[in-house]
């Protein structure tokens, strides 16, 4: 990873003055799990499964890096199902200006692959674990693999990843009784476990009504147990982080329905087919792929991205029950 600092004559910025150091790049829509709130019937093949190629990704990330983006998260779908995932990681890690390369994974085969991921330049890993109870984990993901995923978490710690985080979607009636179990899990481990409030999507309305819990419920419980809010780092993701003197790990809360969620927005998203999504919950993406076809198009690509910034809205409309027509989060990365 290079430490080159570009003179950002034209940094990415929207009309509200928000800057975008952080890009979430989806590399596939495909997933091998069937999480009940995301892809309950598993990934359904569509007419067009041609995801961004490595050269397209290199051109895209180079353009973003030259406009001030320095943190990239590879996501999906399940990013690691791509056979060329390591090649993607190596390519992105080698781009001038990229200082932090992260990925989000369901932990499939992580035990066997953690070292390869690290060697390819990945330094931060988010692993999704919605329950520490093997039966419930199976029920939520469609896979009886909690033990394997937990071994993968340990492998990531042993390998020396700079940040190991766990994503846990809060689900009423499923994992809402597990708070203390999750807290003890981070007691002696340098892990940040982040509770994500379930988001409504086009596909999960009935599920959402049944299982959504406001993040405020967990915030109250953390306060009662002596956890305190930590200052937010520059380039940090959307979590509000809590610390406790008796715990090595941290707890994060990602609450997209909270009133301040959008004011600290510092990220943009690219779908696996090259659509720029200005908001996780905005409607369709702006197709950038035609401008990723040759190195000569770089200035045109940058101009296009800069131009689209004016369409970034101040806030999503989730409070009004508008899910932004996103069918599920696997299509653009959570």
Closest residue by beta carbon to ligand SAM: 334
Residues 124-143 binding ligand SF4 (CB under 6 A) are 128
Closest by CA to 328, choosing from 76, 11, 159, 52, is 76
152 binding partner (options ligand SF4, ligand SAM, none; Cβ < 5 to 8 Å by kind): none
Spatial distance between the Cα atoms of 219 and 207, rounded to a whole number of angstroms: 23
What residues contact residue 303 under an 8 Å CB cut-off, 6+ apart? none
Question: What whole-number distance in Å separates Cα of residue 227 and Cα of residue 296?
Answer: 52
Give me the DSSP letters along 197-214: EPPP-SS-HHHHHHH---
Total residues contacting ligand SF4 by CB under 6 A comes to: 12
Is residue 35 involved in binding ligand SF4 (CB under 6 A)?
yes
For residues 60 and 20, give the distance between their C-alpha atoms in angstroms, rounded to a whole number.
15
Question: Which residues have a Cβ under 8 Å from the Cβ of 204 and sit 6 or more positions away?
Answer: 37, 38, 40, 328
Contacted entry of ligand SAM, ligand SF4, none for residue 105, CB cut-off 5 to 8 Å set by kind: ligand SAM
331 binds, among ligand SAM, ligand SF4, none (CB under 5 to 8 A by kind): none
With binding defined as CB under 6 A, does residue 22 bind ligand SF4? no
Residues that bind ligand SAM (CB under 6 A): 31, 37-38, 75-76, 78, 104-106, 128, 167, 169, 196, 198-199, 201, 204, 329-330, 333-334
Q: How far is CA 140 from the centre of its chain?
A: 19
Q: Which is nearer to ligand SF4, 31 or 222 (CB)?
A: 31
Strands annotated E in 219-260:
228-229, 240-243, 250-254
- On whether the CB atoms of residues 222 and 255 are closer than 8 A, the answer is no
Nearest approach, Cβ of 142 to ligand SF4 (angstroms)? 8
Residue of 12, 25, 27, 31 that binds ligand SF4 (CB under 6 A): 31
Binding partner selected for residue 75 from ligand SF4, ligand SAM, none, CB under the kind-specific 5 to 8 Å limit: ligand SAM
- Out of 14, 78, 197, 203, name the contact with ligand SF4 by CB under 6 A: 78
Return the one option of ligand SAM, ligand SF4, none that residue 39 interacts with (CB less than 5 to 8 A, by type).
Answer: ligand SF4
152 is an interface residue for ligand SF4 by CB under 6 A? no
Judged by CB under 6 A, the stretch of 33-41, 180-188, 281-289, 300-308 that binds ligand SF4 is 33-41
Segment lying near ligand SF4 (by CB under 6 A), choices 11-19, 70-78, 186-194, 228-236: 70-78
Q: Based on CB atoms, which residue is closest to ligand SAM, 66 or 78?
A: 78
Helix (H, G, I), strand (E, B) or coil at 69: coil
CB-based contact 116:80 (threshold 8 Å): no
Residues 6+ apart with CB under 8 A from 156: 110, 114, 125, 127, 164
Instruction: Give min distance, CB of 196 to ligand SF4, in A.
Output: 10
Considering only residues 26, 69, 91, 106, which one is a binding residue for ligand SF4 as defined by CB under 6 A?
Answer: 106
Name which of 23 and 196 has its Cβ closer to ligand SAM: 196
Q: How far is the CB of 329 from ligand SF4 (least distance, A)?
A: 6
Alpha-carbon distance values, 127 to 31, 43, 236 (Å):
14, 19, 17
Given 102, 330, 331, 332, the residue binding ligand SF4 (CB under 6 A): 330
108: exposed, middle or buried (Cβ count in 10 Å: 0-12, 13-18, 19+): buried
Tokens representing 62 are 């180079």
The residues binding ligand SF4 (CB under 6 A) are 31, 33-35, 38-39, 76-78, 106, 128, 330
């Amino acid at each position: 990873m290079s430490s080159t600092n570009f003179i950002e004559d034209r940094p990415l910025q929207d009309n509200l003055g928000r800057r975008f150091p952080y890009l979430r790049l989806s590399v596939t829509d495909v997933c091998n799990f069937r999480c009940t709130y995301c892809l309950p019937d598993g990934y359904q093949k569509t007419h067009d499964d041609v995801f961004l190629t490595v050269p397209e990704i290199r051109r895209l990330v180079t353009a973003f890096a030259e406009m001030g983006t320095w943190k990239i998260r590879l996501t999906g779908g399940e990013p690691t199902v791509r056979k060329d995932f390591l090649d993607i990681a190596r390519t992105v890690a080698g781009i001038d200006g990229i200082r932090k390369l992260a990925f989000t994974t369901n932990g499939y085969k992580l035990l066997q692959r953690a070292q390869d991921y690290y060697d390819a330049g990945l330094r931060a890993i988010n692993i999704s674990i919605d329950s520490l109870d093997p039966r419930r984990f199976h029920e939520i993901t469609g896979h009886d693999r909690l033990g394997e995923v937990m071994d993968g978490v340990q492998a990531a710690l042993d390998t020396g990843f700079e940040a190991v985080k766990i994503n846990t979607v809060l689900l009423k009636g499923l994992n809402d009784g597990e708070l203390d179990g999750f807290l003890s899990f981070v007691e002696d481990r340098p892990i940040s476990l982040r509770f994500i409030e379930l988001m409504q999507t086009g596909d999960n309305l009935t599920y959402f009504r049944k299982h959504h819990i406001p993040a405020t419920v967990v915030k109250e419980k953390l306060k009662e147990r002596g956890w305190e809010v930590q200052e937010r780092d520059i380039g940090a993701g959307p979590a509000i982080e809590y610390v406790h003197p008796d715990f090595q790990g941290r707890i994060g809360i990602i609450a997209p329905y909270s009133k301040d969620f959008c004011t600290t927005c510092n990220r943009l998203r690219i779908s696996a087919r090259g659509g720029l999504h200005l908001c996780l919950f905005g409607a369709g993406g702006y197709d950038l792929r035609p401008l990723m076809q040759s190195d000569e198009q770089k200035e045109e690509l940058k101009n296009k991205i800069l131009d689209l910034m004016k369409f970034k809205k101040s806030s999503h409309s989730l409070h009004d029950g508008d899910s932004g027509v996103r069918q599920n989060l696997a299509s653009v990365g959570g």
